[in-house]
Structure 1
């Protein structure tokens, strides 16, 4: 957990520089080079400044994950203002793929760390947001009838997007088509329109 929250613009800039430096080191040099000294040096901050906000590397990594979660949630929240229906699901897929492929190395490394670290509030908020989007896309009746639907859809989308990132894929349109096939195949049932 972050030790101290920045309150002044200068402190916010320092924290942002530290997080940017941490992300850059992870992306370009990997976990072996991911040290607090290297991060502080890259950020142009003293090690004391880094420790003022982040007591250890785990807290810094958690803050990076939360920053990525917030960016994803901001984009996903816009879907709640759009008309209900399957189009929302297509837009959600595009957002998920764009988010992962924007910085695939960072996304992959943070996903691995996320599994090791304790659960965060931002994860619960993202899950609740996803459930709301699935409900708007597929209807409340279907969601009530199939309570595991959000988990299963998330697993399909997340798994395929992560696998694409690990393989170094960069063709988001082709990836979206493949994920749509998997999702539509999962969703097909007697109640589902043929347009799936």
Structure 2
């Protein structure tokens, strides 16, 4: 089953979910389509199983990095402790973006992704509240959404490159987020609102 899921991940990354077929997945796994059908009735079932495993893995990764120990660090160190493992997870699992960006991806995958996204945003809000306790709630929500959007945009660039160029984009993601969050943390440490 793991071999089939790995093959499906490879095929989804190469051609996208929509263009993938069970025959292509079986071929990538080096098995007959009949063998594939012993484990999965169709492409959707494969995607759902893969999506559930990825969501579980990402939920664990987020729980480990957005913990109290990391949020007690200075902002720049916290960002290293959080961003590096999240980028590493996504680099090791590029199929997660392929599944999320598919136009006809099974609804269960989209629902699980949306729930994970909401949980992650809530956790980012808690982290921002730690660094900027005086920041009004509506600003904290907006800041969390913007920081998350910056991370996701940067992540796509990171995944599109390899080697030294990938590392350079990782540094850019961190620098962009730090330059965005540091003034907010400074202003939010007091009772004043962040100037726009």
- TM-score of the superposed pair, with normalisation by structure 1: 0.68
Structure 1, 113-122 or 82-91: larger mean CA deviation: 113-122
Aligned length: 176
Q: Compute the RMSD of aligned alpha carbons.
A: 3.3
Unpaired segments ≥5 residues, structure 1: 1-13
The reply to whether residue 144 of structure 1 matches residue 129 of structure 2 is no
Distance in 1 between residues matched to 2:84 and 2:33, nearest whole Å: 39
Deviations 1:33-60 (A, max 9, x none): 7321232344465645644654432332
Match of 2:87 in 1: 97
- 4+ long deviations beyond 4 Å: 114-117
Unpaired segments ≥5 residues, structure 2: 190-196
- CA spacing shift, 1:143–1:57, aligned 2, 3 Å: farther
Distance in 2 between residues matched to 1:62 and 1:134, nearest whole Å: 29
Match of 1:174 in 2: 168
Match of 1:158 in 2: 152
Does structure 1 conserve the Cα–Cα contact (< 8 Å) formed by 2:7 and 2:29? yes
- TM-score of the superposed pair, with normalisation by structure 2: 0.68
Deviations 1:141-179 (A, max 9, x none): 34725222222111100111112323x243454223211
Report the CA distance between 1:110 and its aligned residue.
3.0
Does structure 1 conserve the Cα–Cα contact (< 8 Å) formed by 2:121 and 2:144? yes
- CA spacing shift, 1:117–1:158, aligned 2, 3 Å: farther
Structure 1, 81-90 or 108-117: larger mean CA deviation: 108-117
Does structure 2 conserve the Cα–Cα contact (< 8 Å) formed by 1:164 and 1:175? yes
